[in-house]
Amino acid sequence: MGDSSSRDGSSTFPSVTKLLVAAGAAVVGLGVGLAVIAGQMGSESNANGENNNEERMMKAPGGGGTYMPRKPFEDDPKGYFRDLRAGKKG
């Protein structure tokens, strides 16, 4: 019995190979999962403006491509459009 056969004549290499492939897949899956979670955490904190001191901006609706602060629009979009129609730009 100098080869890689077990007592019943089957080889042990396929089972070891399957185990190593499964372990490798688990490690890769864990790494990808952690990367996705870290990316979501980073985008949420940036989207909420928690990690930077800059005011979030947006293209002004009806503003011809100009930019405006996002918060006033989100706080009162109806008022923004009312003021826009009245000739007041916010």
The string over 64-88, giving b where at least 16 C-beta atoms fall within 10 Å of a residue's C-beta and e elsewhere, is: eeeebeeeebeeeeeebeeeeeeee
Q: Which of 14-23, 52-61, 63-72 has the highest mean pLDDT?
A: 63-72
Q: Assess whether 90 and 71 both reside in one domain.
A: yes
pLDDT at residue 11, as a whole number: 62
More confident residue, 65 or 17: 65
Domain shared by 13 and 46, yes or no: yes
Residues 50 and 86 in one domain: no
Placement of tokens 């185990």 in the chain: 19
The answer on pLDDT for 50 being more than 80 is no
Tally of domains in the chain: 2
Phi, psi of 57 (to 5 degrees): -115, 160
Distance CA 83, CA 43 (A): 32
The answer to whether position 2 is within a domain reads no
Task: Note whether 41 and 59 are same-domain residues.
Answer: no
Examine the domain organization and report whether 82 and 62 are in the same domain.
Answer: yes
Q: Do 19 and 29 reside in the same domain of the chain?
A: yes
Mark whether 33 and 65 lie in a shared domain. Answer: no
10-19, 31-40, 42-51, 63-72: the lowest-pLDDT one: 42-51
How far, CA to CA in Å, does 44 sit from each of 34, 38, 48, 70, 71? 15, 10, 6, 16, 16
| Structural domain of 25 | 8-54
